[in-house]
A and B are shown apart, each in its own frame.
Chain A
């Protein structure tokens, strides 16, 4: 059965949102700022792997955050690049997690234009919810939830 699941494209981006720009594997990824729990350093990661695909975990106040490394294609990889020194802990209700990134910039969406994902880019496990145009540059837009579904979906 071949389906064209066009309704799955209708993921909404939070309006008038403060955003964070993460540089991951050379790629710019935009997330709503409210999806970020905290920013930490790679030095605090313990090399215990609570989840398959994670490179370690971050522990605070009894909570455990598995930490993942993503490539520029937003796929999990097992070896952290040397220049990925920042850990961003994200609020994902199913399983809070962290990802490593090269840089992080706080910004506001009004400085950018959000564009829905072109239909031809649909993939059921893509973490992307749209594209953002910022001064002639194209960034990928996601949310903690979509990123979490994509990362954990890869392990299924």
Chain B
């Protein structure tokens, strides 16, 4: 019984870390076009506690993960470390900022800030 419980908790931990973020803009847009998905691009920074909260808490919510994986191609840039990689045309005031980009590479909408998993899911639902 204990072994099963440990196995279950390992599976839970692994699945909670399963969001995969690319940091190759062009490749992600090409993949989005193939898969007819919207790109969710996050600008974040290691010094930003609000970004840390999103990455360490909110994005560990399984329901949210499931929705994000199903509907979006995920792209993320650290605005400090990836400074030279930031794609042109996406202005921002602060981080975290989330951009939603069509499979044709056109921006659909964007918003800044965090929220709990439920709030974030509500915000991103319906963005296509």
**Chain A complexes with chain B:** no
User: Which residues of chain B have a CB within 8 Å of any CB of chain A?
Assistant: none
